[in-house]
Amino acid sequence: MERMFPRYLSSPYQILMFEVDELVVFLLFFILWLSFGKFFLIPIFVGTYLYSKTKKKYPRGFFRHLLYFSGLIKIHDYPHYFERRFIE
């Protein structure tokens, strides 16, 4: 039983030129464009471009932690952000 082994273990998955999170932003604006029409045509490209530029400025995992600090998602096995001491 052979399996493909990734060449770089830490590299994110890519579809064409997009990483997965950039593709989600692209598809979100695309669905909004299909639903509401011409108004969301420009944000498809501008929003995806600005998201990728902003993402490259910050370290990996920044947006996930930003969502965690705002209370939108929960990171499993991770203490609350307001705890000062954490004992493993």
What own/partner pairs with CB < 8 Å and gap ≥ 24 does 48-51 have?
48/18, 48/22, 51/21, 51/22, 51/25
Spatial contact of 78 and 59, defined as CB atoms under 8 Å apart = no
- Residue 18: what pLDDT? 80
- Residue 31: what pLDDT? 93
Q: In the chain, what are the domain boundaries?
A: 18-69
pLDDT tens readout for residues 23-75: 989 999 999 999 988 888 888 889 989 998 998 899 888 888 888 888 888 87
Report the predicted TM-score, pTM, of the whole model to 2 decimal places.
0.66
- Residue 6: what pLDDT? 67
